[in-house]
Structure 1
């Protein structure tokens, strides 16, 4: 670890998971976050970080300027927000890959991606097939270590709430305990704060390779550093 802690370049800093990661890093001396975004975001008191703002075309320069050890990509949208399949793919595949390629060009060798449970290039579900294709593309870029987090429903406030999501978020914890067991545990809901804990734990890992983390694996990563 370099002096001042692990430097994390966070793209998607203004989203649900990005905000949670910023909040979880407050008060920690072992991590320094450099956020990349199109707009400013309100930072929590005590946040030890920088925010670099620019249009996506400029992000490779900002990613290089971050001088990071790890790229964390929390970019993502929904079909409802994107409007159509082409717009969704432009963010969840093209922009994610663009940032990953910029990170490799800047010498960053560790990437952590927020993907989705069920991601599979062969899926008949467009959302999941794009997520799977993105994972596959990043695996070919030569990162020394690639961590792929696959959360299910993220419990938390969204500015653009999806239809029925409020009800789903209320029921999710109970359904997870009562119904989602065995191979279905991967579909248990999780809070953005927990995902952020897992990111901070994984950012310290040095083992080489590609690692996929679903619900249980994220919980194990959290336990390695404690809640």
Structure 2
């Protein structure tokens, strides 16, 4: 029985989460192998259509989802939704079937099912559907722009935004602080701090809360 299982481990935050579990074994479910994975971790490589069944069979205590892409990277709105909504929900349903108590999912600042922005609306709908699954404890992290080294092709827009982040962040105060950028390493540290945490209910963590958890 796995204590924690991670999906989305091939992205920036997912890789950093794995690094945080340097002494605790975790299971990773992915579509392709992760190179140089520490020996105390397990990885199960399978097409995403099999993930729900695999996760149900693994019966993890905690499911961690770092799944996420962009519309540009996915190629279309439909392809984006297939990952950021459908695949996240499939993994979550598998976890619930296996009796998983806690789920931790990376969402986005501004996520809302009522948003006019397709990206934020999809994120909000994903959050809503995760809540409806009824995990004992659900932790939703809503970071702003993620800073750090990403695997894969350069995302030009995000690269330019990251360069401007120090100035932009300094202008964001009060309720707008939640839109400040944050390093992927801090988000990963917050996830590690939340994994296995007691209590119940739905917990939404925005910028300041993520930083507090990481520190």
1:70 aligns with 2:62: yes
Computed over aligned residues only, the root mean square deviation of the Cα atoms, in angstroms, reads 1.7
Tell me the equivalent position of 1:128. Answer: 120
SS in 1 for 2:110: coil
Assess if the C-alpha contact under 8 Å between 2:54 and 2:94 holds in 1: no
Q: Partners in 1 of 2:13 and 2:87 — Cα distance? A: 17
**Match of residue 36, structure 1, among 29, 33, 46:** 29
**Match of residue 25, structure 1, among 13, 21, 24:** 21
Q: How many residues were matched structurally?
A: 214
SS in 2 for 1:221: helix
Give the C-alpha shift of residue 222 in structure 1: 2.1
Give the C-alpha shift of residue 60 in structure 1: 2.1
Q: Kindly report structure 1 stretches of 4+ aligned residues shifted beyond 4 Å.
A: none
Q: Partners in 2 of 1:128 and 1:154 — Cα distance? A: 15
CA gap of 1:40–1:100, structure 2 versus 1, over 3 A, is same
TM-score (norm 1): 0.89
Assess if the C-alpha contact under 8 Å between 1:7 and 1:68 holds in 2: yes
Tell me the equivalent position of 1:199. Answer: 191
TM-score (norm 2): 0.93
Assess if the C-alpha contact under 8 Å between 1:173 and 1:188 holds in 2: no
Q: Partners in 2 of 1:109 and 1:144 — Cα distance? A: 5
Worse overlay, 136-145 or 159-168: 159-168
Q: Partners in 2 of 1:73 and 1:56 — Cα distance? A: 13
Q: Partners in 1 of 2:83 and 2:60 — Cα distance? A: 22
